[in-house]
Amino acid sequence: MKILPAIDLIDGKCVRLYQGDFNKTTQVGSDPETQLSTFIKDGAEIVHIVDLDGARNGEARQYDLIRKLCSQSSIPIQVGGGIRNLETIKNLVEAGASRLVLGTAAIEDEDFLKEALAKYSNHIVIGIDAKDGKVATRGWETVSEVDYIEFAKKMESLGVETIVFTDISRDGTMTGPNLVALENLLKAVNCKIVASGGIKDNSDLIALREIGIKEAIVGKAIYEGTVTLKGGPQ
């Protein structure tokens, strides 16, 4: 099991949201650069960074900070939030980001998605953020009528190889991941599925591994010390 520690950014600070609610924001950890160094020192193989300002407002607002983090990192960086045009993709790839998570743009602009996959297929990951089984967009503040399974199948048909799945109702709650939704997704597509949302401790990581998940994004549980990068499930 590969753990991706999460650094969520608002206004240059590391924060955690509760169930995707921007009104329930808690500052966590150190400053982003120190936090990244700590994760690397603790053995992280890849780090997940989200520009929450960008996710909410539709443009990569913390590009300079993310570029600085990528430049100081000795491990791959996965970046999400506000990636909705090819210029942003180009800038982030040139900044050193290894994976780019497209969410809102993937559901709202299929032509952009196809062009992104054609030009940057090795970097593109699709983020499926769901609430009650429906795909949410724009920093999770808008819930569509699109079923997450059907959307995943469509993404696979377009050539997507990796999907990050987040159950919004579990995110930041430490109540455990939605194993049923993840298992259904694993059965529906052949993409690699990265689990996100609700992970509270190593038992959750073991449960994810047992259903076939090989990567998981962990946020609050790492900051609270209930999941550690050192000595976790392999």
What's the rounded Cα separation, in Å, for the pair 5 and 219?
A: 6
pLDDT of residue 20: 58
What per-residue confidence (pLDDT) applies to 57?
74
Adjacent-strand bridge partners of 193: 163
Specify whether 129 is catalytic. Answer: yes
Flag whether 204 is in a domain. yes
Give domain status of residue 163, yes or no. Answer: yes
Question: DSSP for 121-190?
Answer: TTTEEEEEEEETTEEEETTTTEEEEEEHHHHHHHHHHTT--EEEEEETTTTTT-S---HHHHHHHHHH--
> Which entry of 8, 53, 167, 204 is annotated as an active-site residue?
8
Quote the pLDDT of residue 232.
Answer: 60
CA separation for the pair 194, 78 (Å, rounded): 12
Question: What's the sign of the alpha-carbon dihedral 139, 129, 68, 37?
Answer: positive
Residue 176: give its domain's CATH number. Answer: 3.20.20.70
Q: Is 122 domain-assigned?
A: yes
d(CA 129, CA 166): 5
The rounded radius of gyration (Å) of the Cα atoms in the chain is: 16
Is 234 domain-assigned? Answer: no
Does 217 reside within a domain?
yes
Are 138 and 58 in contact by the 8 Å Cβ rule? The answer is yes
List, for residues 84-105, the tens digit of each pLDDT value: 899 999 999 999 999 999 988 8
Number of domains in the chain: 1
Residue at 232 is within a domain: no
Mean pLDDT within 151-165: 97
- Measure the CA–CA gap between 47 and 49, rounded to whole angstroms: 6
Q: Which two tokens stand for residue 83?
A: 């990636």
Active site residue 11: no
User: For 105-129, what is each residue's pLDDT tens digit?
Assistant: 888 899 999 999 999 999 999 999 9
Q: How far apart are CA 187 and CA 146, in angstroms?
A: 18
Phi, psi of 215 (to 5 degrees): -140, 140
Range of the domain at 213: 2-223
The single residue of 51, 129, 167, 204 carrying the catalytic annotation is 129
Residue 187 resides in a domain: yes
User: Is the model's pLDDT at 225 over the cut of 70?
Assistant: yes
Look at residue 170 and tell me if it is in a domain.
Answer: yes
Percent of the chain with pLDDT strictly greater than 90 = 69
